[in-house]
Amino acid sequence: MPPSQSTLTVQERRQQILELIRARHFATLDELTEVLGVSESTVRRDLEALEEEGEAHRIHGGVLYTGSSPKLPHFEMRQPMRWAEKKAIARTAVELIQPGDSILLDGGSTTYEVARLLTGVPLHVVTNSLPVANLFASSPISDLVFLGGSICPRSGVAQGPLADAMIGSLRVRKAILSVAAVNEQGFFNNNVLLVGTERRMMEAADEVIVVADSSKFGHCSLTHLCPLDAVRYVVSDDGLSADWRTKIESAGVRLLVAAVQERQAIPVADLGDGESVDAPVRSG
């Protein structure tokens, strides 16, 4: 018999909701009220609170799990870094996506924040990221295509010749990519195989959107992805310097700057969105 409302604290009840939707990825309002033995209004309040915390996303007919990022080294090291900036960038980037769009999402931690906000939008989603695919796998309103290939255990991302070949047979309206560094030469990432796959992603898209927090600018990394003018949009945060704003716009790229509400103190250098644990190298 399910526990009554009086036997659970609010926090315990919300944790139980999270465990249920984490296991199922999607649950209806009726299922939650039945399992918890509480009123529909109570469940609605709980879901509203969980959505504000970024743990769930309400859609017509129920709720999707969009909680903590997966326990992979790539996310555990990078997700806490500049999280406020990444979340602000994601909120701005999703404004470029329309219901019904076909989109391609890579496996960067900033891209993952974008994906979390898109789980309630009807879309055709293509991704090489197991964590991103997991967000959309149970969505009743989105179609998902997962790109196969060699899976990197640190990030859960498919890369290499098999992924590249599959991308070559697809077309999407928009590709959203994270990068490890940006300088006057263009965009960089840390993984040679991943950069090859991301280039195929760019070729498959009508528009390319790069999401990168302001700490990435003025640096280089292991492998050059493309020049600045090869993308349509760059979405960054309001910590981006006036000099870099001018450089991006002078390259003919549309720059969107996200306002960050509360910045966190960063105890160590940001390691970037690439898979290597090496920090981007400052250029100049």
**Domains in the chain: boundaries:** 5-65, 73-282
Per-residue DSSP letter, 96: G
Percent of the chain with pLDDT over 70: 83
- Res. 23 pLDDT band, cuts 50 70 90: low
pLDDT of residue 8: 75
**How would DSSP label each residue in 175-214?**
EEEE-SEEETTEEEES-HHHHHHHHHHHHHEEEEEEE--G
pLDDT of 44 strictly over 70: yes
3-class secondary structure per residue, 30-68: HHHHHHHCCCHHHHHHHHHHHHHCCCEEEECCEEEECCC
How much is the pLDDT for 244?
A: 98
DSSP 23: H
The residues facing 143 across adjacent strands are: 124
- The mean pLDDT value of the chain amounts to 84
Please classify residue 234 by burial: count the beta carbons closer than 10 Å to its beta carbon, then call 0-12 exposed, 13-18 middle and 19+ buried: buried
| 5-65, CATH topology level | Arc Repressor Mutant, subunit A (1.10.10)
What pLDDT score was predicted for residue 2? 45
Q: Please determine whether the domains at 5-65 and 73-282 fall in the same fold group of CATH.
A: no
- Write down the architecture of domain 73-282 according to CATH: 3-Layer(aba) Sandwich (3.40)
Percent of the chain with pLDDT over 90: 49
Per the model's pLDDT, the better-predicted residue between 23 and 126 turns out to be: 126
Buried-exposed string 246-280: b where 16+ CB fall within 10 A, e elsewhere: ebbeebebebebbebeeeeeeeeebbbbbbbeebb
- The structure's pTM equals 0.73
In this predicted model, what pLDDT tens digit does every residue of 181-223 receive, in sequence order? 999 999 999 888 889 999 999 999 999 999 999 999 999 999 9
Residue 11 pLDDT > 90: no
- Residue 279: its pLDDT value, please? 41
